[in-house]
Structure 1
Amino acid sequence: MSVVIRPLRFTTDVDAMRAFLERLGLRSRIESERGGWVDMLAGRGMVGLHDAATSSTGGKPGTSLSFEADNLDAVQDRLEQLGFVDGTVFDEAYGRVLSVTAPDGVVIWIDQRSDDLYGYKLHDARPDDRWSVTPALTGAEQPPWRRFLNGLGLELSELPVRFGPATGQFAVGLELTTTEDLTDVHNRLTDLPVTRTGNTLQITDPDGQLVVVHG
């Protein structure tokens, strides 16, 4: 059962965010022929970009937590065995989706990987294996979230998330981890607001939001 983490960024400018993430090392895989959607691959994990103006966010940029799986029914069965019993599978225009309530009352969407590309363009994505998508979860208690993520089929020893402070409202920060020399990454971004602290880059992205890259 293959499950991939895919934080979803609702953005005011899909093209600008796409170009920004490509500069970091991600590669475009699938985009909507009508525009407004593209998903991007890293060596591990993905990032989805969605036009905020046509989303339920009311045009406001922000990041939510989502996943892609090759077998939604197997994922749903595993989660039900762990007590996450409100999962619902339904059909969207782009394929099957599992909606389930995670810890802290957070609703998570898991898309089933699909070979039906009607209305979409597939690119020959060659992801850079040095890059991983490792979003940061704040306002999240680690034990129940680790249990939930394990129920998705992710290995506890290699969870592709970072945990921030457990207090406050649940939020997802777009963060990446790389084995590429961080100085080389920094040098590609000299025209952007970037702060380096030790082995970490804090970058203001085209939405004016913070993206963190860990070396």
Structure 2
Amino acid sequence: MNDVVIRPLRFSDDIQAMRAFLETLGLRSRIESERGGWVDMVAGRGMVALHDAATSSTGGKAGDTRLSFEADDIDELMERLLAAGYQDTNVWDEAYGRVLSVVVPGNLTIWVDERNDDLYGYKLHDAHPDSRWSVKPFLTGAEQPTCQRFLEVLGSADDVYYGPPAPEFGVRLDLQTTEDLDEVLRRLAATGYEARLDEDGLTATDPDGQIVRVHR
């Protein structure tokens, strides 16, 4: 089966600070570039990728988060998307591996990186994902039925939260956990991060100055 994993992409001015913050929450580093401009991190379900904003070739600004994915086989995924009616779909080679792009309604382009076994220029960590944690980005400005249909094709229909209508599409880096949030709050406080609890979850401010919401 072609495994497609949701992997929001965060552009940051300080990747190591963001990495430390997400590790404090419960994610684990999996792969990082030897030059330090990229780290991807795993949870029990889903991933987060961190990209140096200064070297972004697509105009990513520090604090920006984009919806993206990683897949085992992007050729098979392309066939699946075409069969579902997503005709503006392309696959090409980048220096770091193969990439699929698909334009969805609203003229939004979504990127899917193919999982790459060639780690030249990268370091692989012996990551052991914490099964209590999931990455579930919070989407604003998305037309839910349209977005849900696209995510169903990818097999990720349950991997996002939907926010209110907004003039533009936006992505917030949200997580879900079964871990005791009092313990998570203690970890964050012990390392100097600003966070607060409420009856529905935990809200923290990350090193990029963005809100991260942890849902129960």
Q: CA deviation at 1:11?
A: 0.6
Residue 58 of structure 1 and its aligned partner are, at CA, apart by 5.6
Say if 2:11 and 2:60, in contact at 8 Å, map to a contact too: no
Aligned to 2:151: 149
The answer on whether the counterparts of 1:75 and 1:153 sit within 8 Å (CA) in structure 2 is no
Equivalent in the alignment of 2:7: 6
Query: Which residue does 1:180 correspond to in 2?
Result: 179
Q: State the TM-score, normalizing by the size of structure 2.
A: 0.95
Give 5+ residue unaligned stretches, structure 2.
none
User: Where do 1:47-66 residues align within 5 Å?
Assistant: 47-55=48-56, 56-57=58-59, 59-66=61-68
Q: How far 1:195 moved relative to its partner?
A: 2.1
**Does residue 125 of the first structure (1) align with residue 127 of the second (2)?**
yes
Q: TM-score, normalised by structure 1?
A: 0.96
SS in 2 for 1:108: strand
Alignment: residue pair count? 212
In the other structure, the counterpart of 2:100 is 98
Selected match of 2:76 from 74, 77, 95:
74
The SS at the match of 2:130 is coil
Return the offset for 1:83. Answer: 1.1
CA distance in 2, matches of 1:39, 1:123: 10
* Deviation beyond 3 Å, 4+ runs, structure 1: none
SS of 1:15's partner is helix
User: 1:195: which partner in 2?
Assistant: 196
Q: Is the 8 A contact 2:29 2:125 kept in 1?
A: yes
Q: Secondary structure at the match of 1:23?
A: helix
The residue type paired with residue 182 of structure 1 is: L
CA contact (8 A) 1:193 1:203 kept: yes
Identity across aligned pairs (percent)? 61
Residue 21 (structure 1) shift = 0.3
Helix, strand or coil: the match of 1:129?
coil
Deviations 1:3-54 (A, max 9, x none): 0000000011000000000000100000001111000000000000000111
